[in-house]
Copies of this chain bind each other. A is one copy, B any other.
């Protein structure tokens, strides 16, 4: 019974060594439904940032559920245009492991890319699941991609989006319903303007043709500049560090508990007692933790 996925031996030491070199990268999240065209947008952003001679890392997070949908494979194949460019690094994350595994693996890759001197790190997510929300909360600029005419404009524009978005993109803006989507977004903003210091801009793009890309990049830049000039930047940094610390704590405590449970079949004995209702999970956990503390003295 393991609490955690394995991490390669030595990974901690590597991350410890790399960590002091991090902190310079711009970490940008791109979140959108499957079918929103966010991968095409990421693809275009890579091309544009490369023209500015920026080194670009991409971490594409796929919750890898049977229902996650999205043409992940096709997207990744399309991105292979950039595969021969040494200043572009693309990594798909697909972990169906224990809780926190996806978030932790993504953190690790971002730390490595940051330390390696990538200027821009694009974190692409579908935006479902707590793990992913957790990831999105730690980027500096969070771009949320919507698409008109999916028939769920109102549903998709839930209040939750306003909390995590720094920039809205209405992609496929040449489609019917784009005006409606923009209008709905503006209306939602007027209801819940929690960020008086930053009114979340709405950018229209047609990613397949590169339309609106220049404006999107300017908008991301403006947000980064806004962050630098406000307390927000420090706040986001703290939030990101707290997130990394939480994951590291979960990780290391998990390893200790795993060691305890695996020694002498202790975990199996506990589970058997649970199956037979001789013990309940809450008391079993308390006993295991007491054992852990007493053995570490």
- Residue interface mask A253-268, B partner, CB < 8 A = 1: 1101100000000010
Q: How many copies does the complex hold?
A: 2
Q: With an 8 A cutoff between CB atoms, is A152 at the interface?
A: yes
CB-based contact B101/A19 at 8 Å: no
The distance in angstroms between the C-alpha atoms of A161 and B126, with both chains bound, is 19
CB-based contact A99/B134 at 8 Å: yes
Q: In whole Å, how far is A261's beta carbon from the nearest beta carbon of chain B?
A: 9
Q: With an 8 A cutoff between CB atoms, is A187 at the interface?
A: no
Interface residues of A in 220-278 (CB under 8 A from B): 234, 237-238, 241-242, 244-254, 256-257, 267, 270-272, 274-275, 277
Chain B hits for A99, CB < 8 A: 99-100, 103, 130-131, 134, 250
Q: With an 8 A cutoff between CB atoms, is A297 at the interface?
A: yes
Chain B hits for A63, CB < 8 A: 128-130
The distance in angstroms between the C-alpha atoms of A42 and B103, with both chains bound, is 32
CB-based contact B67/A245 at 8 Å: no
**Cβ-closest chain B residue relative to A293:** B296
The distance in angstroms between the C-alpha atoms of A156 and B161, with both chains bound, is 26
**Cβ-closest chain B residue relative to A12:** B282
Q: With an 8 A cutoff between CB atoms, is A149 at the interface?
A: no
Given A253-B257, A297-B297: A285 and B248 interface contact (C-beta under 8 Å): yes
CB-based contact A155/B65 at 8 Å: no
CB-based contact B130/A129 at 8 Å: yes
Q: Which among B1, B129, B297 is the interface contact of A245 at CB below 8 angstroms?
A: B1
Q: In whole Å, how far is A127's beta carbon from the nearest beta carbon of chain B?
A: 4
- Residue interface mask A117-136, B partner, CB < 8 A = 1: 00000000011111111100
CB-based contact A130/B127 at 8 Å: no
The distance in angstroms between the C-alpha atoms of A249 and B286, with both chains bound, is 8
**Cβ-closest chain B residue relative to A256:** B289
Chain B hits for A22, CB < 8 A: 277
The distance in angstroms between the C-alpha atoms of A282 and B160, with both chains bound, is 31
The distance in angstroms between the C-alpha atoms of A289 and B257, with both chains bound, is 12
- From A77-85, A90-98, A175-183, A211-219, the one touching the partner chain is A90-98
The distance in angstroms between the C-alpha atoms of A293 and B260, with both chains bound, is 15
CB-based contact B128/A281 at 8 Å: no
